[in-house]
Amino acid sequence: MVAQVINGLVLASIYVLFSLALTLAWGMLDILNLAHGSIAMFGAFTAFLVAQHTSLPLVAFIAISAVTGGVLAVLLDQIVFRAIRRRASSRGERELLTLIAGIGAGAIPLTYAQERTLSNPFGISSLQPTLYDIEGVKVSNFEITIVVLGVGLAVLMALWLRRSRWGRALRALAFDRETCALMGVNPNGLSGVTMFISGVLGGLSGILLMMYLSALDPDTGNDLLLKGFAIVILGGVGSIWGTLAAGFILAAGETVVVVTTNGTWTDAVAFAIVMIVIIIRPQGLLSQGKSVRA
């Protein structure tokens, strides 16, 4: 039972990291980045490629994956999304073009990884967990790292958005981009920083998921994107605390199904939970209006 609780905490922490990146871009910049799953996968894949040529400690591989995710997200924002923001004639057109562009951009790293691996799972064999026996419960250093990063970064993100100058500017940008520009805030620069943070979180979730499962396949990002999208809707778009709560709810639902059944209904039951909450509270568990967030 304790082992299943630990598995649920680990899975929830990965979901939270991935979903934080989605809610940050979507809630603050109005960018629903459908390439985010591929970015997370490719961060882990880059670490895998580096591992083929050199032996590095765990921290180095985590940093490589995180930086790769951040760079990819910034490139996507500056090359694609920025052009869409500049040329779209209406908000509706901008959102539609952003969705289409995200799908197209996400196919590029996905196709590259599929070609290099022949669509087979990939992992870093040199990374092996160290087990600790705590009061009869076996916990690995991988599990500890994942939970600390997932929960810790969620709390830091919430405090950063609420109390820092950058966070206040970002919340104001979510409310009114044009007014922010008139008040001296550089919307493009702030968008770039936000997308970098989003990409870093995505890259982190990718490498941590690979540590947890031992290997990923190139299509893993698509499955993660679906879960992350559900968590953001469940928690409330733009709500960090809502994302944290929703990530744990979804992971808990999946863990219970795995323990009590053969696991076939895992996704169905998890998304049934999301649907029930949406019916009862369509705005999400802890959603706030843009004016309140700003």
Show the domain range for 161.
2-218
* Residue 266 maps to a domain: no
* Residue 249 maps to a domain: no
Least confident span in 34-43, 103-112, 121-130: 121-130
Instruction: State how far the Cα of 193 lies from the Cα of 24, in Å rounded to an integer.
Output: 11
Phi, psi of 88 (to 5 degrees): -65, 140
pLDDT, tens digit (0-9, with 9 covering 90-100), for 245-266: 889 988 888 888 888 877 677 7
Beta-carbon-side half-sphere exposure of residue 144 (alpha carbons within 13 Å): 11
* Residue 13 maps to a domain: yes
* Residue 57 maps to a domain: yes
Predicted TM-score of the model (pTM): 0.89
Closest by alpha carbon to 8, among 214, 203, 150, 155?
Answer: 150
Average pLDDT for residues 166-181, to the nearest whole number?
Answer: 71
User: Has residue 175 got a pLDDT over 70?
Assistant: no
Average pLDDT for residues 129-152, to the nearest whole number?
Answer: 87
As a whole number, the mean pLDDT across the chain is 85
Instruction: State how far the Cα of 216 lies from the Cα of 206, in Å rounded to an integer.
Output: 9
Per-residue DSSP letter, 73: H
CB under 8 Å to 65, separation ≥6 — which residues?
Answer: 43, 44, 46, 47, 203, 204, 206, 207
| Percent of the chain at pLDDT exceeding 90 | 40
DSSP codes joined into one string, 139-153: EEHHHHHHHHHHHHH
Dihedral (CA of 234, 101, 195, 92) sign: negative
pLDDT of res. 294: 43
Average pLDDT for residues 189-212, to the nearest whole number?
Answer: 92
Number of domains forming the structure of the chain? 1
Neighbours of 279 (CB within 10 A): 8
* Residue 139 maps to a domain: yes
Instruction: State how far the Cα of 97 lies from the Cα of 115, in Å rounded to an integer.
Output: 27
CA distances from 247 to 163, 205, 261, 285 (A): 24, 13, 21, 12
More confident residue, 289 or 161: 161
* Residue 252 maps to a domain: no
* Residue 260 maps to a domain: no
Length in residues, the chain:
294
- Structure tokens, 90: 């209406």
* Residue 288 maps to a domain: no
- With contact defined as beta carbons under 8 Å apart, do 36 and 109 qualify? no
- Amino acid making up residue 273: I
